[in-house]
Amino acid sequence: DTGVSQNPRHKITKRGQNVTFRCDPISEHNRLYWYRQTLGQGPEFLTYFQNEAQLEKSRLLSDRFSAERPKGSFSTLEIQRTEQGDSAMYLCASSPSSGQGTYEQYFGPGTRLTVT
């Protein structure tokens, strides 16, 4: 298995534009998590899915943010009408929900968003 992948790795956009990020988890993992990390800080939880169901959203996830995992495999995170405060690294992680490694999350390389 090649691990968790995220695309694009870098995104530069102008304020007000919409952006979409993609995460491909480890294939047998049915839990998928999104986090946001700003420079010099630890990651902050945004939302998570079990299979295709979105089970929790953080209050950090404003109405401009939406996440989907339509077939329980890859996930997308969309930010509408981007603001400069959205500039951050967006991290995706996956884990199994049973069996070995249930409580361990494996992270992707992240998508760095810069809003100008």
Partner 1 sequence: AQTVTQSQPEMSVQEAETVTLSCTYDTSENNYYLFWYKQPPSRQMILVIRQEAYKQQNATENRFSVNFQKAAKSFSLKISDSQLGDTAMYFCAFTDYYNQGGKLIFGQGTELSVKP
Residues that bind partner 1 (CB under 8 A): 31, 33, 35, 40-45, 48, 50, 55-56, 89, 91, 93, 95, 97, 102-110
DSSP 84: G
CA 115 – CA 99 distance, rounded (Å): 40
CA 73 – CA 80 distance, rounded (Å): 23
**Residue 14 vs 59, nearer CB to partner 1:** 59
CA 109 – CA 116 distance, rounded (Å): 22
**Residue 50 vs 80, nearer CB to partner 1:** 50
Q: Least Å distance between CB 107 and partner 1?
A: 4
**Residue 45 vs 74, nearer CB to partner 1:** 45
